Structure 1
Amino acid sequence: MDSILHATTDNPVPENHFAGFMEGRSGVKIRYAVFRSEQREAKGTVVLLGGRSECIEKYFETINDLTARGLWVATFDWRGQGGSDRLIPGSRAGHIARFSDYEADLTLFLEKIVLPDARLPFFIVAHSTGALVALSLAPELENRIERIVLAAPFIALDGQSMSQRKITIIARLASLFGLGKRTFRRGDPSLDFQRNVVTSDERRFARNTAIFTEHPELSISWPSARWLNETLKIMARVTHQDHLTRIRIPTLILCPTADKLVPRKAMNNLARIFRAARLIEIDGARHELFQEDDRFRAQALAAIDAFIPGSDAEDTNLGA
């Protein structure tokens, strides 16, 4: 187990788990883990889907929060990041050949690991890019997933030096002309708390930085042009009315109002045309809700408690 999941000083591996590797689409090795609740009767299993550049270790605290509520947690690293296989030999760029590979890996994870080894009913809690994958695949998940939580879903791009339209055009052209494995930026993303835009919590920021400092093999750099091209295409598809009307799984959208990566307006527009969804705004929170300050993070967890059946909350009404 110790060679699969990695502890750091302030981030121990949650107990009562099993971890391993499964074969994803095209033979890519995918790292996964399942964490059991200590409670005698499980209330279900949360399939926890992280964002781009993240890894299982970054969610140990959230996993403990969920298992303490009587839920099992099943999670994995997306291909190309964390402890899963890299897709460009010798490069740290975040890359994907096809967005459908993400969807295929999630489907395989549900079929190979979650269904046989976890406890019913199944729920999805997904952040950012993980939320985009869940939203894209949702029409096919109706008979397997009871409810979905989308935290800061990556459905639009903000806070960049160029507009989303310009980035879309450049990423498409780069992919067409064989430059899809290149990134638009050099070096690594900043590890400086003062310049970060994803969390206002310095302690959690330092904890997550330590994960990648002590285990650099888990980290990746900027997204490739191909990753951007594939992701931007899916953003356009999943926010269209035709796609959203096919989703009948009750869905909760958690919208951090101070998010500088995904526009608040985009999340509100999504909720407005998404009949199966309800939106809760968390005022003042930044993009990474599960890595945020306690006052924001507690609101996100309380919203999940009130939404996912079988939690400690007595009232599952979203309006409560």
Structure 2
Amino acid sequence: MIRPLVETSSNPIPSGTRVDSLNLRDGKELRYTITPASAQPAQGTVIILHGRNECIEKYFETVRDVANRGFTVATFDWRGQGASSRLLRNAAKGYVKSFDDYAVDFEQLFEHVLLPDCRGPFYILAHSTGALAALLAAPALSNRIRRMVLIAPLLDINGSRARKTIARVGANTLRYAGLGRAYMLGGPHQIRPFDFNEVTSDAARYLRNCEILEKAPELAIGGPTASWIVAAAKAIKKISRPEFIETIRIPMLMVAAGADSVVSTPAIERYALQLRNSTLLTIDGAKHEILQEKDFYREQFFAAFDAFIPGTGSETE
């Protein structure tokens, strides 16, 4: 049964949005939404790919912003989070066997829902974990996606070399010991006070997102498991190989957050330089979730988005 969308007084459902689900080949189910463009001329379709522990409801504001630019907007909850199928008996744990599963799920949604139901050309707007999944899928989508905008992509975690080594070794040790489903970082989901959050400096948007999970706590997941950490590391290693980078043909705008304490901004900047056709923007002072940030930072992002999307159409046609 499809989980209805959750709205609050500060976070209404975008006008015209329909919610549905897609049954995947392995029996899992993805909840997705399609929102019609609210302005003319019609520009095509933007597909929003969320980060870890995010859900469709968190992006209502961004969906309206993009729809107001003349785009149909499609988005969905990744497997294992939001209102899509959970993967463990303890549904609160952040788990995935392989990030390739994310890429395959997206390709299935594209084939069975987006191509028949949405108007091209198609663009991707992806954040953090979603941006890593978009990079994994990019070679297979080179003839379908015109341009991609990646926000704070997960290419490395922020922190010292020692911290990264401890995380990598610890996660692999737990996984090889048969404890891959154990929490690696954090535990069950808790709503943190604004002053202790690492993702945004905008109190109103942060509290708005907390209200969603207070009303529907089942949409949240807790910390990542050891298997999730190992899967993320393998995905990063895969997309960082020179031979893989050579297969990425889709023009990209990569947006880094200057004050990001979650993922590594230098890693994003290094990766952008290796791509065949990419533009890099670092928004000074912004924290990890730029789309949930203060207007000052969001306006810089959307100025870059408007300059890059829809583009000329000559890149992949």
Provide the rounded CA distance (Å) in 2 between the counterparts of 1:164 and 1:234.
Answer: 16
The equivalences for 1:292-307 within 5 A come to 292-307=293-308
1:266 offset after TM fit, Å?
0.5
1:223 is aligned with what amino acid? Answer: P
Answer whether contact 1:8 1:211 (CA < 8 A) is retained: yes
* Aligned equivalent of 2:281: 280
Distance 1:96 1:238, change over 3 A: same
- Mapping 1:159-170, distance limit 5 Å: 159=159, 163-170=163-170
1:53-202 matches, within 5 Å, as: 53-159=53-159, 163-184=163-184, 185-202=186-203
Q: 1:123 Cα shift?
A: 0.3
Give the number of equivalent residue pairs: 312
- Separation (CA, whole Å) in 2 of partners of 1:109 and 1:126: 15
CA distance in structure 1 between the partners assigned to 2:249 and 2:39 by the alignment? 31
What is residue 207 of structure 1 aligned with on the other side? 208
Shift of 1:24: 2.3
CA contact (8 A) 1:80 1:96 kept: yes
Given that residues 189 and 222 in structure 1 are in contact (C-alpha distance below 8 angstroms), is that contact kept between their aligned partners in structure 2?
A: no
Q: Deviations over 1:241-264 (max 9, x none)?
A: 221111111000001110001111
Query: CA-to-partner distance for each residue in 1:123-180, whole Å, 9 max, x for gaps?
Result: 0000000000001111111110000000000010114896222211221222222101
Contact 2:93-2:188 within 8 A present in 1 as well: no
Checking the alignment, whether the CA contact within 8 Å between 1:19 and 1:33 is kept in structure 2 is yes
Give per-residue Cα distances to partners, 1:202-258, cap 9 Å, x unaligned: 000000000001001101100111011001111122122221111111000001110
Partner Cα separation in structure 1 for residue 265 and residue 297 of structure 2 = 16
- Once residues 90 and 104 of structure 1 are traced to their aligned partners in structure 2, the CA distance between those partners, rounded to angstroms, is 24
Question: Distance in 2 between the 1:171 and 1:90 partners?
Answer: 19
Percent identity of the aligned residues? Answer: 41
Question: Which amino acid in 1 is paired with 2:163?
Answer: S
After the TM superposition, which of the residue ranges 23-32 and 289-298 deviates more from structure 2?
A: 23-32
Q: What is the TM-score normalised by the length of structure 2?
A: 0.94
Aligned equivalents of 1:161, 1:10: Cα separation in 2: 41
The one-letter amino acid of 1:111's match is E
RMSD between aligned residues: 1.9
Structure 2: 5+ residue stretches without partners:
none
Larger deviation: 150-159 or 196-205? Answer: 150-159
State the one-letter code of the partner of 1:237. K
Distance between the aligned counterparts of 1:133 and 1:99, measured in 2?
7
Gapped regions of structure 1 (runs ≥ 5): none
Question: Which residue identity is paired with 1:168?
Answer: R
1 CA distance for matches of 2:25 and 2:12? 31
Structure 2 Cα separation of the partners of residues 298 and 99 of structure 1: 31
Identify if the C-alpha distance between structure 1 residues 187 and 110 changes in structure 2 by more than 3 Å, giving closer, same or farther. closer
Q: Distance between the aligned counterparts of 1:75 and 1:131, measured in 2?
A: 13
**Residue aligning to 1:231:** 232
Which amino acid in the other structure matches residue 112 of structure 1? H
Q: In 1, distance between residues paired with 2:66 and 2:232? A: 29
